Amino acid sequence: MSLIAENKPAYDGKVLDLSGKSGARAFRNTLATVLIVLAFVLAMIPLVWILFTVVSKGYHLLLTADWWSQSQRGITVRREGGGAYHAIMGTLIMALITAVIAVPIAILGAIFLVEYGKGTRTAKVVSFMIDILTGVPSIVAALFIYAVWITIFGFNRVGFAVSLALVLLMLPVVLRSTEEMLKLVPDELREASYALGVPKWKTILKVVVPTAFGGIVTGVMLGLARVMGETAPLLILVGYSKNINLNPFNGFMGALPTMINQDRTELALPNAADRVWAAALTLILLVLALNLLARLIARFSAIKSK
């Protein structure tokens, strides 16, 4: 008897052959594979279609130096040209302010839920409120900040108010992703650190967070991608400006979503339709660049296994 036959289980003195698949099992396996591949193809069709349309209609403006260095100031029916520098800088400034406020709060909140408040009433309340924030539409967040920032305190419509509204949208995304990443850290690492006499706060800072750092950074980038394309807070909380304004606390600011909306209403101007597609492509490239940067940071900052 061969070695393969010797390793097979015996039943009533006969060797059972379990190496093959029955006809029904093989059919179900093939059917499931076909359905999964079909679902993947169906999901990729609109994505590829959108990317192809945006790239094919907007790439030529991105190849000009004016697009990255000039604003739309003075662009009329008689004067063509201009660029998206004012909108790019406005988008980056408001996104940066949003991240500076939302990311520390989200990470600290996730650490509390996973490391300190597990099972407590306070943690349940925090988790419930985060679930509510996850489903809040962007226009509701913008109207809330409008009521507080402008109606109650009497401040002007500025870029900082937009960042406050975007914080409400970014916070639950980053907190939930960070929470899941912290849960994936093996408890053995925590227990080994405690066994060496390391305090809990230092274990979290030196072991838990660095282990989950790659996932945390990915969550932050997902949060930024979520808020950088929002239009409702921009329309409600700050007016669109074609001039370059780098001060988020004074005056109207340009942003890529509102630039798209503005050019959509000014199709009579030269190249307005082209600017719509170019601004959309620029926004996609900015999000892509941020994600690539996050991957590099996570790759070189994560704990290396020996």
Identify whether residues 52 and 94 lie together within a single domain.
no
Identify whether residues 54 and 113 lie together within a single domain.
no
Identify whether residues 114 and 37 lie together within a single domain.
no
CA distance 66 to 54: 20
pLDDT single digits (tens) 202-212: 999 989 998 88
Query: 44 in a domain, yes or no?
Result: yes
Query: 73 in a domain, yes or no?
Result: no
Identify whether residues 147 and 33 lie together within a single domain.
no
Identify whether residues 25 and 143 lie together within a single domain.
no
Phi first, then psi, for residue 11 (nearest 5°) are -140, 115
Q: How many domains does the chain have?
A: 2
Query: 120 in a domain, yes or no?
Result: yes
Query: 208 in a domain, yes or no?
Result: yes
CA distance 157 to 126: 30
Identify whether residues 190 and 267 lie together within a single domain.
yes
Provide, rounded to the nearest whole percent, the portion of the chain with pLDDT above 70.
88
Cα distances (angstroms) measured from residue 156 to each of 90, 249, 250: 17, 9, 8
Query: 79 in a domain, yes or no?
Result: no
Identify whether residues 207 and 264 lie together within a single domain.
yes
- Range(s) of the domain holding residue 45: 3-61
Cα distances (angstroms) measured from residue 120 to each of 115, 123, 171, 294: 11, 5, 21, 33
Query: 76 in a domain, yes or no?
Result: no
pLDDT single digits (tens) 196-254: 888 998 999 989 998 888 889 888 988 898 899 899 999 999 989 888 889 999 989 99
